[in-house]
Amino acid sequence: MQRDTLIFDLIQKEKKRQEDGIELIASENFASPQVIEAMGTVLTNKYAEGLPGKRYYGGCEVVDEIETLAIERAKELFGATWANVQPHSGAQANAAVMLAVLNAGDAILGFDLSHGGHLTHGSPVNFSGKLYRANFYGVEKETGVINYDVVEATAKKEKPKLMICGASAYSRDWDYERLRAIADQVGALLLADVSHPAGLIARGLLNDPLDYCHIVTTTTHKTLRGPRGGMIMMREDFENPFGLKTPKGDLRMMTSLLDGGVFPGTQGGPLEHVIAAKAIAFQEALSDDYMSYVLQVQKNAKIMSQAFVDKGYKVISDGTDNHMMLIDLRPKNLSGKQAENGLIKADITINKNMVPFDDKSPFVTSGMRLGTAAMTTRGLKENDMLKIAELVDDALMNHENESKLSAIKKEVNSWMSNFPLYK
């Protein structure tokens, strides 16, 4: 068979782009060679609808072992009692949960997308906002931090069946204990979507949602540094959270609803090559090297955040507890679109992002979101974060100066050659 040189040449071009530049998109990371290797294996040939030991196809003996390993490693990593590792993405995981525990038209309460939430937490353009009656909470304008008293008042008013916490652009830790108390008051289920800080949570650097939340979802490719995919977890059988008459401590009926939400509810055959890569990533995340890594991710984020504050940038909530920061660019008379377009010419990748109480459209935005997970994977430390802040600031202040941006790009490319990505 003739080799498709056009596609493979483009893959090499993308590899070079990743190696040459500074990657600051908070939802991106660099998977290890063995994670990537697992995704390109013959496991992609196997259909395996169902669960290990309960498949609808024959010949699943080997993939059953692989998926079981992924499940057991996920449970060990997060201290979970049950996990489903089949969701193709975090959005699919959230869709499966909602299908399992909600009926169309039920009320949900999520974190507002424009304040840092996620599309699947009730956005009107997403299934979660189209199928369910979505209500929202956000951050305080003065502090950029969630006011849990306001969350409680909103929950009491709207009486949601499902409350959702977690974010795609919120830099502070979550008070899951308080949220659970609110959920209990209104008779709601509590779902934590920890897609961004999952790696920090797994290694004890942030509050543990599994202590209080009925259900936890996550992606596997951000701070967990695995393949693109999703997962659902539970730790305990809380008092009849689905209104089922199940004895305390029996997870079977509750988790069967969630399993059904994944398949056949929202997906067909699982991607066993990706599940194998998830298993590898979970094992990597249990290592001492990974613990050192997430500690450095958090240190780097705090240093970078402060560096931008010192340069006069408005960092929402004035800092960060995790791996990311959200910056309001209006004090610098810049839009997120201008920042993104200018920085890409300097081989610095960020994403434009709405900020709380934004006055611009989602296609322009007033802010940018930055994260440290990817560059920490490449070996950069605290002093390097100060240099990155200098380069970003220089590029932003010269975002229309093509020659200046070209000079910054050369500096970036030369510097990044000292941090090889895939040797």
Task: Pick the catalytic residue from 75, 133, 178, 228.
Answer: 228
Cα(92)–Cα(273) distance, rounded to whole angstroms? 17
The label of the residue with tokens 């920090």 reads 200
pLDDT computed for residue 238 by the predictor? 60
Q: Which residues pair with 348 in a beta bridge?
A: 22
pLDDT computed for residue 247 by the predictor? 43
pLDDT computed for residue 423 by the predictor? 77
pLDDT computed for residue 266 by the predictor? 96
pLDDT computed for residue 329 by the predictor? 98
pLDDT computed for residue 229 by the predictor? 98
Task: Pick the catalytic residue from 47, 76, 148, 330.
Answer: 47
Cα(59)–Cα(178) distance, rounded to whole angstroms? 47
Task: Pick the catalytic residue from 19, 20, 49, 175.
Answer: 49
Cα(124)–Cα(291) distance, rounded to whole angstroms? 38
Task: Pick the catalytic residue from 23, 158, 193, 284.
Answer: 193
Cα(149)–Cα(147) distance, rounded to whole angstroms? 5
Q: Which residues of 332-360 are buried (b: 16+ CB within 10 A; e: fewer)?
A: bebbbbbbbebbebbbbbbbbbbbbebeb
> From the CB of residue 61, how many other CB atoms can be counted at a distance below 10 Å?
10
Residue (of 63, 72, 61, 56) closest to 42 by Cα position:
63
49 is catalytic: yes
Binding-site residue positions for (6S)-5,6,7,8-tetrahydrofolate: 113, 117-119, 361-363
pLDDT computed for residue 244 by the predictor? 47
175 is catalytic: no
pLDDT tens-digit profile of 284-317? 999 999 999 999 999 999 999 999 999 999 999 9
Crossing angle of helices 5-20 and 402-416, in 10° steps, is: 90
Residues 6 or more apart whose Cβ sits within 8 Å of residue 252: 246
Binding-site residue positions: 113, 117-119, 361-363
423 is catalytic: no
Pairing relationship of beta strands 162-165 and 107-111 according to DSSP bridges: parallel
Complete edge-to-edge strand list for the sheet that includes strand 82-84: 82-84, 230-234, 215-219, 189-193, 162-165, 107-111, 133-137
Distance between start and end Cα atoms, the chain:
29
C-alpha distance from residue 17 to each of 187, 350, 395 (Å): 49, 14, 18
64 is catalytic: no
Q: Which residues pair with 163 in a beta bridge?
A: 109, 190
193 is catalytic: yes
pLDDT tens-digit profile of 384-402? 999 999 999 999 999 999 9
Task: Pick the catalytic residue from 120, 218, 219, 223.
Answer: 219
pLDDT tens-digit profile of 39-64? 999 999 999 999 999 999 999 999 99
**Residue spans of the chain under pLDDT 50:** 244-249
